[in-house]
Chain A
C-alpha cells in the first residue's frame, strides 16, 4: 500500500559527478576497443566470440562485476548511480554482456536483507568475475507477481542472462514461503533460443526436482527481496534505455548533417529538424528520469520519502524511458532510411534492443499499474 508519495521529495542531485564521469570514460574506452558493431551484429549469426573477452575486460579488468557487491564480499560497494553510468554506456553500444542480469539484478537479489550465508559465497564469486548469475524468470517479469517454480521443478521460458550464467537463481514456492535457490548451470538444462535481441539472448531453462533439492537457499522469505531486485532492475534498465536514446539522437543528427538530397543537407529540412528537436527533448527527459530513478534507488529521496519513492521513480522511469527508447530507435531507422534497413548498419541493434527492453522487466502498462497505485489514481472499477 502506498505511503506518502504525493509529497514532493527533496531534490536529489541529478548532475554527473567527477567519479561518475571517470567511470564513464573507462567503460567507453573498453567499448570503443572491444565492442565493434560488426562483431556485435555477428551475435545474430550465432558468433558470440565478442562476448567473453569484452566481459572479461569489463567485469574483471575494470571490476564492474563487483560494482554493486558490498565490500565485505569483495566488491566495490558502489551505488546504483554508478551502475547507471555503466548502463548508459553499455546501452549506447548495445553491448552483449550480462552486466544488467548478473551484476545488477542477481547481485541486488543476493545482497537483500533476507539473503543467507550461502548467498555470500555466490556474491564473492560474482565480484571476482569468476561466475555469472541470473534470475530465472521470464525476462518480461516486472516488479510484482513473480512466477515461481514448485519444489518439483519445471521449465521457465525466455530467461535473460542464462546463456552466460554459471549460477541460476531460481525462485521457488516452498512449503515455508517463497525462497530463491542457487542451481549450478551444470545441474540444469539451458537452451538458447533465437531472440528478437540477440545481444541479450534468451534461453529456456529446465530444472529438475533433484537439482532444486540439492541447491542451497540463497534468499529466504524472498517475496520482498524479489520485488526490490526487480524494482532496481527496472530503474537501471531505464539508464540502459537512456544510453540507447543518446546514441540514436547523436548518430541521427550526425548523419543528417552529412546526407544530401535535393542539393541540400537533409538535416536542414524543417520537418526533420522538428522531429529531431522533439527527440532531443525526449532524450533530456529520459536522462533526467533515469538518473532520478538510479539516485533514488541509491540514496532514497531524503528523510521524508518512504521506500515507495524508489518504487515510484523506478516505475516512472521504466515506463517513460521504454516509450522514448522505442521512439528514438524507430526514428533512427526512418531518418537514416535505406541504409538503416541493411544488416551492416548498427541501427537495427538499437531497435531490437529498444523494443525488447520495452517488454523487459515489466511492460509500460505494468509500470502504469504501479504508478496508479502509488499516486492514488485507482482504475474505474476500483471503488
Chain B
C-alpha cells in the first residue's frame, strides 16, 4: 500500500464518518474496521499489515480533522500489554472478540500477575486454576493491581500444575473482572490515592475459550507480556522536554528567584541525559519496527525510572519552601496513571514506583545481564523442584 492509498483510506473514513457529527464510539469502531487503529496489526484486526512507522501520519491526519482519540492513557495495560500478547498467542476467535473493544476503550484491562508472595518471582505465584467442565475455577489473591477498579477484563497468570517446577506449572487466562467471584479492594498508596488494588479471586469461572496459549505454557506467554510492558513503560515516543525534565525546566525558566548554582549543574546534566534518553528511544523504536520487543526494552525502562526519580527529587529541592507543601492527601481512585500530573510532591512520590512496577530495576539488570549480555543466571535453589515443595 502506498502513502497515497493510505491517505485515501483516511479521507474515506473521514468522509463516511464526519467526526463533527458522528458519535465518538461509532467513529472509533469505524476507524478500527477501516484498519486505521494500529496499522501494523493484520487486516480485520484494526490494522492493514503495514509498518509501525506508518501509524504516525495516520494519527496526524485524523487529529488534524478533529477525530476523537481512544484515550490510550486510560487503557495502558490493554494497549501496551494485553493487545500484543493476544495478537501473538490468541486464537482467531479470541483476537476477534477482544481486540476491537480493547482498542476503542469500551473494555479496559488490568494485569493480575503479582501476588503478596510473588512479585519479582512472578513464576512462584500461588493462585490456582483447576479444570472444571469446559472451563476453569480460579482461587487466589492478587495485589498491586493498577486500575482493577475500572477494568472489565484482566490478563491473569495462575498455577495449573503444583507438581511441576514453578515455570512449567502456569497457564495464562483472560479473566472477566465482572465475574461475581472477583472482589476488588482499593490499596491506598504512598501518594495518598488508590491507583492500585488488592484483587481476591473466589471461585472465579473462566471458560477454556479464554485460555491464552497452551496449558502449562503460561510462563512463555507472560514473558512476552513482560517484554511488551517494559517497552510500553520505557519506550514510548515523547517529544523533547517531555516528562519530568519538562516540568523542572519550566519551573527553572519561570522562577528566576529559585535558581542556584548547584541545581543548575544538576539540571543541565539531567537535561543532557533526558535528551540522550529521548534519542535512544527513537533508535530503539526504529530497531523494534521490524521485530518483537526483546529484552532491550528493559534498558529504556531502567533509564526512564532513573531519570524520573532524579528529576522529581531535584524539582523539590529547586522549589525550596514550596517543595515542603503537598496539594492534597485525599484518597481518590484515579482512572489513569498520571506520572507527571499534580504537584511536585506527588511527582516525587509517584516516581518511586517507576523502578518497581513492571519489574524492579534490579530484576531488569538481571534481564539485561543474562538475556542481552549472556552472563550466567542467578544461583537457583528452586530449579527442577516441584513448585509445591519450594519453601515459602
Chain A interface residues (CB < 8 Å from chain B): 5-9, 11-15, 253, 256-257, 264-265, 267-268, 270, 273-274, 276-278, 280-281, 284-289, 291-292, 312, 316-317, 319-320, 368, 371-372, 375-380, 383
Contacts and interface: CB of A to CB of B under 8 A. Distances in A.
Interface stretch (B112-120, B157-165, B331-339, B368-376): B368-376
Given A281-B302, A319-B272, A371-B271, A273 B375 contact: yes
Nearest to B275: A316
Contact of A274 (B259, B284, B287, B369): B369
A291 B283 contact: yes
Contacts of A267: 375-376
Contacts of A288: 276, 279-280, 282-283
Looking at chain B, what size class is its interface with the partner chain?
Answer: 35 or more
A273 B302 CA distance: 15
Contact of B280 (A8, A289, A378): A289
A268 B379 contact: yes
A377 B275 contact: no
A375 B267 CA distance: 11
A59 B220 CA distance: 51
A156 B327 CA distance: 59
25 contacts: A8-B239, A12-B282, A14-B279, A256-B375, A257-B375, A267-B376, A268-B375, A268-B379, A274-B365, A274-B366, A278-B365, A280-B368, A281-B368, A312-B275, A316-B272, A316-B275, A368-B272, A371-B268, A372-B264, A377-B268, A379-B259, A379-B261, A380-B259, A380-B260, A380-B264
B224 to A, nearest CB: 21
Contacts of B268: 368, 371-372, 375, 377
A377 B375 contact: no
A277 B361 CA distance: 10
A268 B269 CA distance: 33
Contacts of B302: 277-278, 281
A6 B241 CA distance: 7
Q: Which 5 A-B pairs have the closest CB atoms?
A: A268-B376, A273-B369, A277-B365, A380-B259, A8-B239
Given A6-B241, A8-B239, A289-B276, A375 B271 contact: yes
B267 to A, nearest CB: 6
B265 interface: yes
Given A268-B377, A287-B283, A319-B269, 6 more contacts: A273-B365, A274-B365, A280-B372, A288-B283, A368-B268, A377-B253
Nearest to B269: A368
Among A13, A14, A281, A379, the one with the most B-chain Cβ atoms within 10 Å of its Cβ is A281
B244 to A, nearest CB: 15
A371 B373 CA distance: 33
B381 to A, nearest CB: 15
A274 B299 CA distance: 12
